Amino acid sequence: QLQLQESGPGLVKPSETLSLTCTVSGGSISSTSYYWGWIRQPPGKGLEWIGSLYYSGNTFYNPSLMSRVTISGDTAKTQISLELISVTAADTAVYYCARGFRSGEYFDLWGRGTLVTVSS
Amino acid sequence: EIVLTQSPGTLSLSPGERATLSCRASQSVSSSYLAWYQQKPGQPPRLLIYGESSRATGIPDRFSGSGSGTDFTLTISRLEPEDFAVYYCQQYGRTFGQGTKVEVK
């Protein structure tokens, strides 16, 4: 059964780079039927789509974060990575990775999420 | 960029009652790309409805979705204790609504 697990530092200093990895176990990240996304949720607030990576290598980002975010994939390691540069306290959130189903553009499988706090 | 507005912000109901949640888009959205998620405290969101009205695997039939254009609705026909949670709509795998909390009255 496919599972997603986010990992990375729980604490990042302001102005530095947030780097997270999503490890996909029990399957491949190369299927053309699926894509991979990152979503975040500040404490006590709603969900915010960060961006998505498709099998073709195409990426789509939230316009509000586009200038600071990069999503990439490593098919050999079955990992999806997120980098967010120049972080501030507003980037403090639980970060989720999720699998998207291409024909409907919805996320059908989610990781448990990892809390990242931006603080000096 | 399409904005999704959910209403009400909070819905206070009793078990057994019917819940009607609204999701309104700032411009027309294909119903094929409208999804609903449920989130409980400390858990990731769970897909409920996709393609506007199709239930995800394992979702009971008391959950139903409807709508078209800019107005979409999630209906829970009879609330069970485990249904009290926050619900989000999403369009095209991108923008989320701000959520509706269904709480016990």
Find the CB nearest B93 among A63, A96, A100.
Answer: A100
Contact between A97 and A22 (Cβ < 8 Å): yes
Residue A96 at interface with chain B, using a CB cutoff of 8 Å:
yes
Contacts of B48 (CB under 8 A, 6+ apart): B35, B36, B37, B38, B55, B56, B59, B63, B65, B74, B87
Distance (Å) from the C-alpha of residue B3 to the closest C-alpha of chain A?
Answer: 12
Find the CB nearest B33 among A47, A104, A108.
Answer: A104
pLDDT in tens, A39-56: 999 999 999 999 999 988
Find the CB nearest A105 among B93, B96, B98.
Answer: B93
Distance between CA atoms of residues B32 and A85, nearest Å: 34
Residue A3 at interface with chain B, using a CB cutoff of 8 Å:
no
Taking CA–CA distances from A95, the nearest residue in chain B reads B44
* Residue A103: pLDDT band with limits 50, 70, 90: confident
CB contact under 8 A, B45 and A107: yes
Distance between CA atoms of residues B58 and B78, nearest Å: 17
Find the CB nearest A49 among B43, B46, B96.
Answer: B96
Put simply, the chain A residues between 4 and 63 with a CB less than 8 A from any chain B CB are 35, 37, 39, 46-49, 52, 60, 62-63
Contacts of A44 (CB under 8 A, 6+ apart): none
pLDDT in tens, B54-72: 999 999 999 999 999 999 9
Percentage above 90 pLDDT, chain A: 86
Residue A25 is encoded by which pair of tokens? 């176990």
A59-85 average pLDDT score: 95
